Chains A and B, each alone.
Chain A
Amino acid sequence: MAEPDQTTEESGGGDAGGPDVVAAGAGTAHGSDEIMIELQEVTKRYPGSNEDAIESLTLQVPKGEILVLVGPSGCGKSTALRLINRMIEPTSGHIIFDGEDVTTVDADHLRRRIGYVIQQIGLFPHRTIADNIATVPRLSGWDKQRTDARVDELLETVGMDPSMYRDRYPNELSGGQAQRIGVARALGADPLVMLMDEPFGAIDPITRDRLQNEFLRLQQELRKTIVFVTHDIDEAIKMGDRIAILGERSRIAQFDTPERILAAPANDFVEDFIGSGATLQGLSLERVRDVQLNTDYPVVRHDVGVTEAQRVLETSSEDWLLVLDDDDRPARWVTLDHLDRTDKRLIENGRKVTALAEPEDTLRDALEEMLLSNAGATVAIDGRGKYHGVIELETLMNVLQRMRREAKAHYARHAEPDTDDTSVDA
């Protein structure tokens, strides 16, 4: 396995000069120059073992970002996470949390300032939901009124009706609900940092997807600093502002934004790990609102008349004509064939438009729609359903090419010794 290359140095070098730069692409990163968590050459060797579980791990987590530690099972990623809140003590090295060396502060007090979510959730089965969420506020000595208010607020935050769930017990919850409560409980005393160890690992794929989306939306408001452990590269790409791909003994194989990891894997290990679907994965990082839509597509309102429709379609290079309804919403796809063969009204002719994409949908969603659509194109609409433009295969290929180009350019710049780190990728 390769030594951590320049990619690690880049992020580890934040203290050397300019702020650690985050790619603006995909609009996911909202990094600041403040480092919240820093691991300095941390090594962990368990007693009785003659091999390090973690070998000299150095990384930084900027405030407000989600860092995902991802790697094959047994690579020590959970151990690395548990070092941060001192569930495990490091053998050597330093862990700096919010400017303090964690080994110098009381472990229990430290943990009250750090939210902690684990795969098994570990809700207290003998306590009500409210009591569970109130755990840290109570440990921190909040008064009852403030605690109660906080519990209700957090239940609302995770989308569960306080009056309905407050007094229930964990065994009355489904897996997804229990995990929501787990997150609410971790947010109890409004910690700056959350550590999440495969939090959605034991949940069915559909619910997991929903919880991930909810959590990302929540994070947009809360802007917590989060270290997130998973073995699932798809989850890492979806959740992470940055990803650290860990190999054996938690050595960093690549540390970067999801976009750049997908576009330019640092070595064979990373390439293997992200797998053959990496290109498609890249599409899930871009949203419809961020791409250049094709607005030259042949489009008519349904009340223009068949002759006009024929004329528009004949003058364009496309085979399909998009017909909009009274409210400018995409309604039908028609071809010249349709127009010639029947004298149906435009609004009833051809095929119904099914492939639609909203601004918040990812390009991967758009691609899936496209493959199922008759016209081989996805219609982009705005929030109210009005026609916005058309996404074609070409649109997507342009995006992929641009991502690859940007990643290459980024690495080309950073390979040179005195790179100006402050430039921001487009």
Chain B
Amino acid sequence: MAIATATEDEAVASPTRAKVSDFLTRNAELVITPAALLLFGLGLALLLSNVELDFTETRQLNWDTTSRRIWETVELAAASTVLVLLIAIPAGILLTRPGVRKVTPAVLSSASIGQAIPAYGLFILFFAWMGQGFWTAVWALTVFSILPVLRNTMIGVEQVDAAVIEAGRGMGMTKLQALVRIELPLAVPVILAGVRTALVINVGMATLAFLVGGGGLGETIFSGIQLSRNLTVVVGAATVAILALGIDWIAAIAERVLRPKGLRGRTSPTDTANPI
């Protein structure tokens, strides 16, 4: 049955060596980032323990308050990111289906203009509609960060090689099977890049949640500004910076782990993802 074939000239160069160096290059930053953040955090803690704080500063910078605000920021970012995923990914997929596809360019170009909508204004608008509270902040964040995920989902699905879909359909996959088994897995890297962008936006903009009584580290920063306590401002800003970089780091790892296996080794789509 078997055909004796020589494949000598078709042999693929041993990937082992490339893999090792590739692994190191790719993971160097994954090791350096948390180490640097840890050092930075320790330095901050050291600074705080050696500085005499006045009453106002102590009230803002004590560990209980800070840890509560960190946790609030994480909750805000997590809740809004989940909402974004639930809304933007199905919507993005829908917008790439034949029939709806005509509106794709319009959606993409409004998505790009949408970046100019001021998050600050969005928070206050939601405040006017929904009143104070955690969910007001979550919805404002959701609306603000929905565009990158929507955009990347659409681009991710559209960039899938038409030949691969053709092959799948040609073998008798139904439209749904082709979507679930081919298009979506192959769009995952680009969608993940969008999700990571949204997450970073959400952490960053969660600092504005204090405007609508949503809590978070923005309270520390803003009270420092209002009370002219520079130390409070800097510590608040530094803490939220460490948090944002840490969450981005986790997202970067997740992005790598979740990327389908056969697609690894390609350049990360994050490199070309939309900036926040």
Contacts and interface: CB of A to CB of B under 8 A. Distances in A.
Interface of A: 85, 87, 108-113, 116, 118-128, 135-136, 139, 153, 156-160, 169-177, 182, 185-186, 188, 195, 206-207, 210, 214, 217-218, 221
A116 B169 CA distance: 10
A112 B167 contact: no
A182 B166 CA distance: 13
Contacts of B181: 124
B2 A159 contact: yes
B273 interface: no
B3 A116 contact: no
A156 B3 CA distance: 7
Contacts of A176: 7, 10
A108 B10 CA distance: 34
Contact of A153 (B1, B5, B174, B182): B1
B166 A87 contact: yes
A136 B2 CA distance: 21
23 contacts: A87-B169, A111-B169, A112-B172, A116-B167, A122-B167, A124-B186, A125-B164, A125-B263, A126-B185, A135-B171, A135-B173, A157-B2, A158-B5, A159-B2, A159-B3, A159-B5, A160-B5, A170-B262, A171-B265, A172-B12, A176-B10, A182-B167, A214-B3
A139 B260 contact: no
A325 to B, nearest CB: 27
3 smallest beta-carbon distances between A and B, as pairs: A122-B167, A159-B5, A112-B172
B1 A156 contact: yes
Given A153-B1, A159-B4, A121 B167 contact: yes
Contact of A124 (B10, B168, B170): B168
Contacts of A182: 167
A136 B262 contact: no
Given A122-B164, A153-B1, A159-B7, A116 B171 contact: yes
Contacts of A159: 2-5, 7
B29 interface: no
A120 B167 CA distance: 9
B261 interface: yes
A125 B170 CA distance: 16
A112 B3 contact: no
B171 A127 contact: no
Contact of B171 (A173, A185, A214): A185
Contact of B260 (A126, A157, A210): A126
Contacts of A85: 170
A118 B164 CA distance: 10
A171 B262 contact: yes
B105 interface: no
B195 to A, nearest CB: 18
Contacts of B3: 157-159, 214, 217-218
A90 B85 CA distance: 41
Given A126-B262, A169-B261, A139 B171 contact: yes
A124 B181 CA distance: 9
A109 B166 CA distance: 15
Q: Interface range on chain B: under 10, 10 to 19, 20 to 34, or 35 or more?
A: 35 or more
Majority secondary structure of chain A interface residues (helix, strand, loop or mixed): helix
A123 B171 CA distance: 12
Given A157-B3, A159-B7, A214-B3, A118 B185 contact: no
Contacts of A160: 5, 7
B53 to A, nearest CB: 54
Contacts of B167: 116, 118, 121-124, 182, 185
B39 to A, nearest CB: 38
A186 B168 CA distance: 10
A309 to B, nearest CB: 40
Contacts of B11: 174
B168 A135 contact: yes
Contact of B1 (A111, A113, A157): A157
B5 to A, nearest CB: 3
A136 B172 contact: yes
Nearest to B188: A126
A119 B163 CA distance: 9
Given A159-B4, A177-B10, A108 B161 contact: no
Nearest to B11: A174
A122 B163 contact: yes
B67 interface: no
A158 to B, nearest CB: 7
A195 B169 CA distance: 13
A171 B174 CA distance: 25
A213 to B, nearest CB: 9
B189 to A, nearest CB: 10
A230 to B, nearest CB: 17
Contacts of A139: 171-173, 177
Interface in B37-94: none
A196 B119 CA distance: 54
Contact of B12 (A126, A128, A136, A174): A174
A214 B172 contact: no
Nearest to A119: B163
Contacts of A156: 1-2
A415 B59 CA distance: 106
Given A109-B172, A136-B171, A177-B10, A121 B4 contact: no
B187 to A, nearest CB: 10
B15 interface: yes
A174 B12 CA distance: 6
A113 B266 CA distance: 34
A118 B257 CA distance: 32
Nearest to B164: A122
B182 A124 contact: yes
B172 A111 contact: yes
